[in-house]
Every structure is written in C-alpha cells, then in structure tokens.
Amino acid sequence: MLTETTTAGPTDDDGALAVRPAPSRSRRTHDDAPDEAATLFTRMAALQEGPERDAVRERLVALWLPMAHRIASRFRDRGEDIEDLRQVAALGLVKAVDRFEPGRGAFESYAVPTITGEVKRHFRDRMWAVRVPRRVQELRNRVRLARRDLTQRPGSPEPGPAELAAHTGLTEEEVAAGLEALESYSALSLDAALADDDHTLADTLGADEHSYDVIVDREAAKEALCRLPERERTVLYMRFFQDMTQRRIADHFGCSQMHVSRIITRCCAHVRRQVLQDRGRPVDPSEN
C-alpha cells in the first residue's frame, strides 16, 4: 500500500499546483508521489534503451497520470474539450518523465510546471482563431489582467488605453495592440445567428454590387449607341438584347452571317472608342 504525506490543492496564479501538508488524522493513500516512483526513476536512469526501460517508463507515466489529469482540469472552462486537454497534459507528463534526473529534487516539483507549461503552450499555439506573434499574445494577457484589476470594484468604469498603459507600464501603442489581440482569440462563424434569430452574421456583411458597374457602362455607351445608324442599332439590339444568333439576324436582313459579324465588330469598336474619347482617355490607334 502506498502512503502519501501531502495532498494536491488548488493551483496558484501561475497555474502550478499548490501542495499543502495533509492533516495528520486523515493520512490517505493515492497515486501522487508514490514511494515506488523514486525507485523506478533510479532504475530507469540505469537502464539502456530497450523493452525493459520502456516498461519502467510506462509504469511511471501511469503512476503520475492522475496528477496530469488534475492539472488539465484547471483549464476546462477555456473553450477546449477536457479530453483534449488531458491528452496535452499527458504529453507534458511524458516529457517530464523523460527529462527528469533523479537526485535533483522531487519529481512533482519538476513535473507540475512542465505539464502546466505544455497546456498553456497548447492554448497559445493552437487555440487562437487568428495567428498573432507571441509578443502580441503576451501583450494581450497583460492588458486582460489589467482590465480585470481595474474593474474589480463594483461600478468601476471601463479603463481607457491611458489607464491601462499606466497600470501595466506599457505604451499606449502596446496597449492598443493588446486590445486588438483580445478580439483575435476566438471567432464567430458567418452562420452564427444574431440576437433576433432571423439573420446570421453573414447577412450583416456588405458586398460589392456588380450590377452598378453594368449600369455605369450602359449609361456611358448609351449616347454613342444613339449616334449609330438605325440599321446598326437594330443589329446590336437583336444580338445583345434579344439574344439572337448572327445567322438569324442575317436571315432577317437578307445578308450573310459574315456581314453581320463585321457590323457587330465595327459597331462595338466604334462605341468603345467614343466612350473613351468622351472620358478623355487614350484610344488604341489599332482600333481606328
């Protein structure tokens, strides 16, 4: 039976587990800091790479896994699935087991910051909706904590950039970068429903209306079209507004399809040249 003389308590401000003495009247046995661990670490350090060393390593990971899961649970309300956090914490535990050197202190003192750091690194590198430099992430955290400190008292107004800069020792430009990064941590889907439930976020986003360009071009070409002879205007109307083929237009006028094609090409070039001249823009000499 394994006897434990300490109990794991809540984490401190840095996310590390605070360890407090267990009451003498309620000494319990659990998997943290097992007596077996010290012997296993010494044994693993003396072994060469191979199946026996791997078995000892797996046993150590299994012994300390409950501690890793408790560290992961401290981050459960930050938007990540708890099972994923436990996987990340387990990875940190494996790293701690591999890197620990027996005789240089208690394993728990080394493992807790290693596991906590791995979880925090996961949030820093994988959980941001928009990738930002690490320096900006640090500014975001300092600004977030400063806002929390300055608004702790009921009725406290929202601090401005100048107040945040004075509280953190940052410049107002750095505070502005941190405030902007606060909006980069998470993102809403364009399909997210708004408060009225009848519209989505995508409905509020503007877009260029390409029909306006068509209207502008049409108005610009209208005057030049009016200058064309009636026969040419009729050919263009039948082709572009009635969507008639060149063959049908040729049959209507009793001419060849090639002649209709030349009329359309010549008229389009003429209208384009007139529009460019009216706008004071250069005309390609090859179009004359």
pLDDT at 3: 37
111, 106, 25: which is closest to 64 by C-alpha?
A: 111
* Cα–Cα distance for residue pair 227/105, rounded to 1 Å: 96
Is the pLDDT reported for residue 96 higher than 90? yes
Question: What is the predicted pLDDT for the residue at 131?
Answer: 64
Report the alpha-carbon distance of residue 239 to residue 257 in Å, rounded: 12
Mean pLDDT is lowest, of 131-135, 223-227, 251-255, 282-286, for 282-286
Q: Which residues pair with 216 in a beta bridge?
A: none
- In b/e form, how buried is each residue of 30-50, taking b as 16+ CB within 10 angstroms? eebbbeebeebbeebeeeeee
As a whole number, the mean pLDDT across the chain is 78
Q: 5-14, 27-36, 112-121, 277-286: which has the minimum mean pLDDT? A: 5-14
At 10 the pLDDT is 41
Terminal C-alpha separation, the chain: 101
pLDDT computed for residue 122 by the predictor: 83
Q: Which position has the higher pLDDT, 268 or 154?
A: 268
Can you say whether the dihedral through the CA atoms of 60, 65, 70, 75 is positive or negative? positive
Q: What CA–CA distance (Å, rounded) separates 274 from 220?
A: 9
pLDDT of residue 277: 81
Q: What is the pLDDT of residues 141-187, one digit of tens each?
A: 888 888 888 888 777 788 888 888 888 898 988 888 888 777 666 66
Q: What is the pLDDT of residues 61-81, one digit of tens each?
A: 999 999 999 999 988 877 678
The three-point CA angle 92-63-13 to 5° equals: 45
For residue range 2-42, what is the model confidence (pLDDT) as tens digits?
333 334 444 444 444 444 444 433 333 334 556 678 888 88
Lowest mean pLDDT across 125-134, 214-223, 252-261: 125-134
How far apart CA 145 and CA 9 sit, in angstroms, is 23
Q: What pLDDT, on a 0 to 100 scale, did the predictor assign at position 18?
A: 41
Give me the architecture of the 210-287 domain, per CATH. Answer: Orthogonal Bundle (1.10)
Residue 257: per-residue pLDDT: 92
User: How many Å apart are CA 222 and CA 158, to the nearest integer?
Assistant: 58
The CA dihedral of 116, 121, 122, 126, to the nearest 10 degrees, is 160
Average pLDDT over residues 181-205: 69
Candidates 3.40.50.720, 1.20.990.10, 3.40.366.10, 1.10.1740.10; CATH matching 6-126: 1.10.1740.10
